[in-house]
Amino acid sequence: MEDCIFCKIIDGELPSENVFENDTIIAFKDINPQATHHLLIVPKKHISTINDLNENEGDDALVGKMTLVAKNLAREINLSGYKLQFNVGKSAGQVVFHIHMHLLSKG
């Protein structure tokens, strides 16, 4: 998407503090952290909201991969507990309309 901040990060047009990247997912530190550890796990495929997921296009597997990336990052950071969160839609606090999972932990 032309005006999508996350697509621009994925394409290298905007800087980010990346902590993980493979062929389908990128993870980076949130620029406005809401916890001691606040990472964003973002698929490289542009999907606006969770409501736009399409299991016929493999999106269900993609969300599973995002969850595994979050688990592995939490283990690397040595977090004893953490929260995974999707905001779906503007009324639920979604600001960037490119699905992303928040990994949050106080320590």
Contact between 94 and 49 (Cβ < 8 Å): yes
For the chain, the first-to-last Cα distance in angstroms comes to 35
Catalytic (active site) residue 46: no
Contact between 42 and 6 (Cβ < 8 Å): yes
The three-state secondary structure class of 46 is: coil
Integer Cα distance of 60 and 9 in angstroms: 23
Integer Cα distance of 28 and 20 in angstroms: 7
Annotated catalytic residue within 37, 46, 98, 100? 100
Contact between 66 and 85 (Cβ < 8 Å): no
Kindly list the catalytic residues.
100
